[in-house]
Structure 1
Amino acid sequence: MGRKVVLTSKSIEGVAYMELLGPIFEVVKCFGGPAYRSISHHRKLKENVNDLKRKVNDLNIRKQDLEFRKEADIRCRRVVKKEVEKWFEDLERINIELQMIEEKLRVVSYFSRARLGKFVCQKIEEAKEIYHRGNFPEGVTIDGPPTTGVTFLTTKLEGEIDVKEQIWENLMGDEVGMIGVCGMGGMGKTTIMKHINNQLLKENQFDAVIWVTVSREFNAVKLQGDIACALECCLPENKLQWATVLMEVLERKRYVLILDDVWERFSLLDVGIPEPTLHNGSKVIITSRSIEVCNSMGCKVFKVQPLSQKVSLNLFLNLVGDRVLQHPTVKEIANLIVDECGGLPLAIVTIASSMRGVDDTCEWRNALNELRERVKSVKGLDIEIFERMKFSYDRLKDSKIQNCFLYCSLYPEDYHIVEEELIEKWIDEDLIDELETRQAMQDRGRAILNKLVNNCLLERVMTYNVKEEVKVHDVLRDMALSIIRGCHHFMVQAGMQLVELPSEHKWKENLEKVSLIHNYISQVPQISPKCPNLSTLLLQENHSLKRIPESFFDHMHGLKVLDLSDTGIYDLPNSISNLENLTALVLRRCSSLRYVPSLAKLTALRKLDLFDTIIEEVPRGIEMLESLTYLDLYSRNLKELPTEILLRLSNLQYLKTWMNRRGEEVAKLRKLEILLGFFCEIQDFERYAKSLLGQGPSKYWLGVGSPTLGNIRSHPWCSHLEDVEVDKKVCFINCEIGKEDLVVLPNCVRTLTVEACHDLKSLSNISLCRKANELKTCTISWCKGIKCMVDLSLSSCNSLQNIEVLRLRCLSNLQELVKGRVAAVSTSHTPAPPAIFSSLRKFHLFRCSSIKNLFSVQLSRGLQNLEYIEVNRCEKMEKIIASEEEEENHKEEERGPKVTTYVFPKLQTLHLIKLPELKSICTSGVMVPANSLQFLSIINCLKLKKIPFSIPRLETGQPTPPPLEHGYVHPRIWWELVEFDDPDAKDVLSQVVLEFSSEEDEE
């Protein structure tokens, strides 16, 4: 059938117009030139705009790829190239210009179409050029500059101030390049240099301040590696090139290199350290107990002298406490004790710490007599120092605490010992009394460690690791080793740069403990040491060690503790199977270990640690180890734990395994205190969770479901598996939760993570959060079914009142945070029930593309504890706070006096990033006090017209800046145009906010 065409008068006019314009256009086309291009711009405007959109879209896709590359590199401390930064800026500009073009297209007049069309064509060409430039075949980043240096924790300087000032004066001058600081051990050389190191970082006059502890066993390769690490530069595989590479890096810098605790002369040139000269302005400082070493290396020497009697007494009295001053006799004895310390700061500190809190005159007199007898009865400077130190050791009185201290000397000199691992070692060695629970033993270990720290026999060290660490002062370690040599038979060659195992004749029959920690031993020879009394063998951190011969353990039947952690060992010899007295077998991070022989005879074994190995089968005979209290079976290749094995291990207190477990099987382990486990079936998890309603582990990490990324071990959750002691965490991934009210959480759960559970509609649909009243942290990610977090018509979700951290990520269908009316804050004398999220401190919303309004005014009034808000890349977000009754309230305000509502009184951080539709932060009449505001980012929120900060004021009424540490806005031109509810806020904040132009990681 033919199609009927109806022509109106307007369409007839349009046809006539085109019939007239067509011939004209053809004539112009024949002549070419600007007129033709202008008409083309006019006719093809919409088509060209669509073409520009496609090209900009291609650019944005390329941008995402580049961002992934950039973010990965930034995490490796690399710096984005300037040309890449410029590329991102150009792309951002063309995105903004495209928005402008689209807005103009809706209102452009007939006569302006050609001009706009011309501009669009220019932008198309520009987009092509930007796309071409965005290839970056050589990468998007370059090696970043090294960090300036490391700041140290320091104690107050006493009598060392003068020598510190002399050293500083020579550092700042041009005459001296090499400086030596010498003095006996414990005199305070390192303390002085730590103060100078920190002052150098604060003054910022050098490109780098490099601190390296050299220690007794000098090794040029290790020193080169430590310097490279401090400079964050990569060295080639060929170690012969290291000196040349370091020389090239250092010659480009003006630096201070501090080499602490140097024991022998060495050549700077051989290591790759340029000789300090007036031309390069760099400095090298060494500390050493030997003035000969300082002189032989061409240093200007500064000797640290003993403290004067007055300074020594002040230091002693400050540490021992004010009680001493109240007893004239005790104070007199204290004076005499200080005399016996010989002005040695380390001796004063340790002895004063051991006498802290003692106010009995007899005890003070006895302490003085003991100290005098020690010093008089020995000859030799080192021995005198050791005897002064040993006074504090003896005052510990408890032999187990003393042995805990002596054990620390088994680690290398200046070694940072993780506190948790040290306590674990004390437990393994029976240095802590066997108590009913593991927690009780750890508490006892913590008390011992604190006592040693408080008595200055151990010192805590600053570290970038999350874990706390301690170390032993090298003088105290020497003292400990002298005590051990006097009454024990130990072989301690830890950190001695050994490349071979000590020869067989050194393995004496009376050996009790052997420590070869942190060496470079690559093989064990075919020897069979006859050491029937050997109870401890520590071989950890010999990364090159691959194999141990069968004969090695043949005559070590007394062995109780064997640690091969962090070695490259492939398999254990079968002779391990005969070590029937073994109580701890530690193989942590033996990432090449694939075979462990039968353990059936090791019935005394209490600890088996196979964390991060690649064994494929559970060691044979493990079911016979009924004494096991600690079992870590995390192995990337371990597939199955045979049924009923766990039921034989009824004494387990610590269990880590990623193999799927049956809930009732785990539930029968009634002594478990720490559990990391994984359940494929939600029913197994529920059976176990119900068992936790009674007595269960005090700490656990439970994974439920099947990861979308394939193997659970490759999932980001598992990036910190070594830190199993997370506090009561449950993670659901790719589970069918939400269809029925089946899932029960342990009441004590503190952290909940839900990922890729697409049947879940809201937390109200299931029993997840109805009784979990200790829940503090909740993270929901990639759940397509979620439209709201809380549906008040289904559940009150009382447990959400206790949540302190809420993270919502990639919820593509999330439309609102809370569905249903939130109860208003009570204005009567009767207290209202706690509001939803009333404990919330941190809130993150990332890539939730459907939500338009975040909080209602009613909900925001209950967020009195909120300190941190981040809303990032939510494409449709229009309002952070919006009232459902905004229009009605607006009318009420017109009838009566306007009342301002203040929300988020504790807000410290606000990040609003890439929210293209954001129009307002707060609805009319609502403001946010900036009294506590420390961090602010508003990036690419171009439609945001007004900012509702209320600036704090002095009593005089004058505005005062908030405590803002970092403030970033982009683009700056938007910031200049945006309005503020508080007229003073813009002037105050503009003084501190910076233009965000480097396209840093915004996630």
Structure 2
Amino acid sequence: MALTKLRFVNQFSQWLCVRKGYIHSLPENLAALQKAIEVLKTKHDDVKRRVDKEEFLGRRHRLSQVQVEIERLCFCGFCSKSFGKSYHYGKMVSVMLKEVENLSSRGVFDVVTEENLVAQVEEMPIQSTVVGQETMLERVWNTLMKDGFKIMGLYGMGGVGKTTLLTQINKKFSETDGGFDIVMWVVVSKTSEIYRIQEDIAKRLGLTGEEWDKKNENKRAVDIHNVLRRHKFVLLLDDIWEKVNLELVGVPYPSRENGSIVAFTTRSRDVCGRMGVDDPMQVSCLEPEDAWDLFQNKVGENTLKSHPDIPELAKQVAEKCRGLPLALNVIGETMACKSTVQEWRHAIDEEWKKTEVKMHDVVREMALWISSDLGKHKDQCIVRAGVGLHAVPEVKNWRAVRRMSLMKNELEKILGCPTCPQLTTLLLQKNHKLVNISGEFFRFMPNLVVLDLSWNSSLTGLPKKISEVETTNTSEFGVHEEFGEYAGVSKLLSLKTLRLQKSKKALDVNSAKELQLLEHIEVLTIDIFSKVEEESFKILTFPSMCNIRRIGIWKCGMKEIKVEMRTSSCFSSLSKVVIGQCDGLKELTWLLFAPNLTYLDARFAEQLEDIISEEKAASVTDENASIIIPFQKLECLSLSDLPKLKSIYWSPLSFPRLSELAVQEHCPKLKKLPLNSKSGTAGVELVVKYGENKWLEGVEWEDKATELRFLATCKSLYR
């Protein structure tokens, strides 16, 4: 009995010592626990920043539980002094300390198998200063930072400086700590392919690799979303032309919860609306003072000081750029080496009549520089279009010239006999005062490939000696109003393109016979009218016409274009057809025999009722032959001002290549389109475009599935 009591006393003493140890060591253990948990939290935060693909669930989840329990154990640095409570707390602290130490020792934090995010901002080449856009830059930046999350659209015409502005925004993110984990830059452009956008984002997130390459768009979107949903990000999309579906890309929509930003540039305010931006910011041309500062910067101080009159002349040239940064940059750099008053006055005298023309000039200046091997071969290409020339300009070395454009000038006569053995392209169109071209002018141009004399309304005949250029390879030859004498054309045996539209002299039988001698003709645009219309059209069925790729038929008075089955092969190469002001035609069933047709434009035909007539098709096809399915290669169909048009085709067609079906204006009776839910599903997205809301509302779709498919993607031509 005494032994039993002694054993009990010893066991109780050991039990009491253990409990006393918990209480005695409580302050020390609690301090150690707090220190250990801080170390573990630091490691936890580091891992959280580094993990990109999946949640680090195991230890992170247990750590969260440990944190909650510690907060319950110790609050405000005070623990209970009650023996019972202190013992309970002391034991839990001791156990928790061991678990934290074990958790920390088991965690492999040095190497994380998941991909790591790359640098926060990808630095891009950029000008140190943005002349004239400082205020706009500050306004955009303040707007972005105001709410902490945003989707912003910047819109404006081409060349106004949208990309430059967005690049500056990218730079400011690298200079300012906005708490963002990553800033991504993607150039979208016209072809806004989801796959390519995902690829650019994946490179910034470090997701690329063999596994990534095997995934489809949906799986890629999931991967991108899994990474970005846990990060505060900035996505900069440059030059978008249509809505970019962020969901399909995998980008979480900016919200107050994620604090992220999406900003983009576009030329269209409408695109901003489609992206969900109701208050986009317009990027406008520079104010006069800012434009002058930028122009001076590009021209350079030395040039401006080279003559007392140049600064004032330079201001006049700068004014012509109308504040467009791209024009100011390009023209300023072009004038940087012009140190004479004459050169500056010439720049002022150039005809810049429209903003669009100015933009074209800017682009042309850069294109010429690039095409001449960055200016090394500038003598090979001479472009003096729309500069008011009254005579052919002097050329130092005609032998070196390969391409020349003198279009849209005031030329009245073209004389001389230049030796141009390398000249392949000569553009002389739209010189409305031109009445005479010397035959000698073309005599030494043996390699001429492109010759354009169209829209020269005062030119009444071909140069008599043009046919003496026996070795010519002329491939483009156009004539226009009152250019009615076709005699001699047939001697241009290599002629490939002949444009005769709007010629006031009707195409008669004799002219047709002359033209049929052109064995290599590929492009022919003609007006067919007068009393011999039907015989005139027979030119198209001549054997020599089998290679024709483009036809334009204007002012045709015929009620019917007759095509026999035996002559149907004549249109096997035809790819483009434009028909206008043909008020007598009721149908275009002959297009059944154009299997390679890619483009069809029909307009201003008051009596046209059917594109392909079911009744006419049955009469011109062989009963024993297989049914001809039209428009298998058609890519674009445009219809306008056809008041009686009722049908394109009597039943739905597959349209495997059609990307655009445009009904522009004044086609009130066209209620049914030859479409069903399977039309245009061969890979090319088919979009119906319309010019009038009233017409779209009256369309009778094949079925509900067809309506749902096409109505959602219909686009207005004027928005």
- Using the size of structure 1 for normalisation, the TM-score is 0.34
Larger Rg computed on CA atoms: 2
- Using the size of structure 2 for normalisation, the TM-score is 0.45
Between 1 and 2, higher relative CO (CA 8 Å, sep ≥ 6) is seen in 2
